[in-house]
Structure 1
C-alpha cells in the first residue's frame, strides 16, 4: 500500500507539501497540486482519515447513536441524516445500542477520542449528567437532557391530538394506545398524554397498554395484538407505532372486524411500513427529512463554534388519512 512518502517521491515534492494539499492548510501552486493528485491516482493512494483527523483535530465524521437499526423509524432517520451530512462533506458513523445502557456508555467512551467531530444522540438510557459532561458537540433527538444540550423533536402533542380527532370522527367508544412506559422520559410519550387528554374530554374511554417495541419481531407483535383484542373485545380504536399498528390491523381482520366500520387504526411514525399493508393506514407522520435537515444544521453550527438562538427545535407532524379511519 502506498504511503504519503511514496506520493511525495512520485510527484518530486516534500511529504509536507502532500500533507498540505490533503489538509488544505496552505496555498500550493496549481501545477504542484496537479502533480500530487496525479501521483495519488497513479499509486492508488488512500489517505488515512483517522491520522489526518488527529493532525487537524477534525475527523470529518459524525456519530449517531440509535436504539436499533431494525426499527424502521430510526433506520429511515439515519438514512436521511447520512445523506445530508455527506452533502456537507461529513461521513456518518452509526452506532446501535440495542437498548443496552452499558453498550451506550461504551460507545460514548470511544467517541470521546478524536474519532468524531460531533454526536447525534438518538438514545437516552444514561443519566442526564453523562450527556452534559460529553466534551464534543452533541445534539439530542426526542429527549431533553438539560439546558446545556440542544434538542430536535417532533411536535408529539399535536400528533396525539390529530390521532384523537380521527378516533372521534370514526365514532370510537373505546381506544387503546400502545407504547413503552420506560420511554416516558422521552418526548414522544407526549403523544400518548395528548391523545388521552383529548379522548377523556370527549368522553371516550381509553387505555394505555405497555409493549416494549424492541423485544419482539412481527410474529410476536401479532400474537400480542390478538391477545389484547380478545381480552378487550369492546375496543374499536388503536394507536400504535407502525409495525405494531400493522400487527393490530392483521389481528383485527383475522377476528372478523370490518375496517373502519368496526375498528379504527392510526399508526404513529409514518414510515414505509404504513404503506405496505393491504389497506392504506391513517398515519401520524414524523418527517425524517425535516428532522434530519434541522439536526444537521444545528450540529454543524455547534461544530463551527457558533452560538444557537434557542435550545429546543420543534418539528411539525402531519396526519395522512387512509382507509383505516372514517
Structure 2
C-alpha cells in the first residue's frame, strides 16, 4: 500500500486527484472551502489508495501537531492528577490531545523534556514545574503557560489566590480557638507561588498572638506512609499542637495519626487542608479545606495556551483564581 501514514501519501492523493496538496489537506481537516465535485473526487481517490490519515504526519505537514504537553512534578500527586484530568478534557473539547510529562521534581528530567518538546511533537506547553535557568526559558521556542510560577513578564501565569487561602485557614484556626499551629510546607527557597499561603497564615496568626511553626519538607519526599510517619513523630514530640495546616495528603495523614493517638477531632486537634482534592473527603471525617478551583485553573490555562498558539494577543499576563473554604468535620 503506497504512501500510507506519511506526508507523501497526501501528495499521492493530490497527484492522482489532480489537485493541490493543500486542497487535500482542507478535505482531511474539513477546513476551508472545497467545491463539492472536487471534494467528491478527492474522497474517491482516498478510498482507491486506501489512504489512512496519520494525525502526527498531517500535523507535521500543516506545521501543527494538535497536541499540548503538560509538565508536572509527580503524576500521583492528587492535585496534579486532578488538574491534568481537567486540562485533558478541556483540550480534547477544543480539538487538542494532551501529552503528560512527570518530572519527579528532577531538574535534569525537566530539561530533557523541554529539549524534546522544542520539536514539532507538540504545539505548546503548560508547565507546573520551574527549575530551569531564565535563559533556558528564553530559548524555548514554543508557546508556554506557567502554573504557579513566574518566569518573566512574557510568559503568562495562572495561579490561585494563595494569600487569601492562607488567611482563610488562619481565620479557621482562630475561630476554632487554636493556640499552637503547625503548618507543613516546602522550604523557603521554593519559587512556587503557593508558598504565599504559608506566609499569609503566619502573619495573620501572629497578629492574633497564636504560635505557629513551619515544618519544611520537600513536598514529594514522602508518599502517604511517609507522611503518616512524619505526623506520628510531630504529634508525639509536640503534644501541645492543636492545629495542623497542610496540603491534602499530609493533612489526611495527620488526621489518621491523631485519631490513632487517641486525640479527639476537632477538640484536641483542628485540621485544615489546602487544595480540595478527593483525598479530603476520603477519610473517617471530612477535612475542612481551602479549595483551589482546579477546573477554573484548567480552563484558563487551556484558554491561554491556545490563544498563544493561534497568536491571539489578548492574553492576561497573570490570572489569579479565587479560593474558598469548604467546611468539614475537623474544625469548629
TM bin (shorter chain): over 0.9
- Matching of residues 60-71 of structure 1 within 5 Å: 60-71=66-77
Distance 1:79 1:21, change over 3 A: same
Corresponding residue for residue 206 of structure 1: 212
The answer to whether the aligner puts 1:286 opposite 2:314 as a matched pair is no
Post-superposition CA distance 1:152-202 (Å, at most 9, x none): 000000000000011001100000000111663110000000000000000
C-alpha RMSD over aligned residues: 2.4
Q: 2:244 aligns with which of 234, 238, 241?
A: 238
The answer to whether the aligner puts 1:13 opposite 2:17 as a matched pair is yes
CA contact (8 A) 2:66 2:97 kept: yes
Distance 1:6 1:279, change over 3 A: same
Q: 2:269 aligns with which of 258, 263, 277?
A: 263
The CA deviation at 1:28 is 2.5
The CA deviation at 1:14 is 4.7
Corresponding residue for residue 119 of structure 1: 125
Q: What TM-score do the two structures reach when normalised by structure 2?
A: 0.91
Give the secondary structure class of the aligned counterpart of 1:181: coil
Post-superposition CA distance 1:243-281 (Å, at most 9, x none): 100100000001111001111000110001111011111
Once the two structures are overlaid, the 10-residue window that deviates more, 94-103 or 208-217, is 208-217
Corresponding residue for residue 183 of structure 2: 177
- Matching of residues 129-278 of structure 1 within 5 Å: 129-181=135-187, 184-278=190-284
Structure 1 unaligned residues grouped into runs of 5+: none
The CA deviation at 1:47 is 2.1
Structure 2 unaligned residues grouped into runs of 5+: none
Aligned pair count? 326
Corresponding residue for residue 297 of structure 1: 303
CA contact (8 A) 1:132 1:145 kept: no
Give the secondary structure class of the aligned counterpart of 1:184: coil
Post-superposition CA distance 1:40-92 (Å, at most 9, x none): 67987542222222221111111110001010100110111111111111111
Distance in 1 separating the partners of 2:230 and 2:49: 59
Q: 2:323 aligns with which of 312, 317, 320?
A: 317
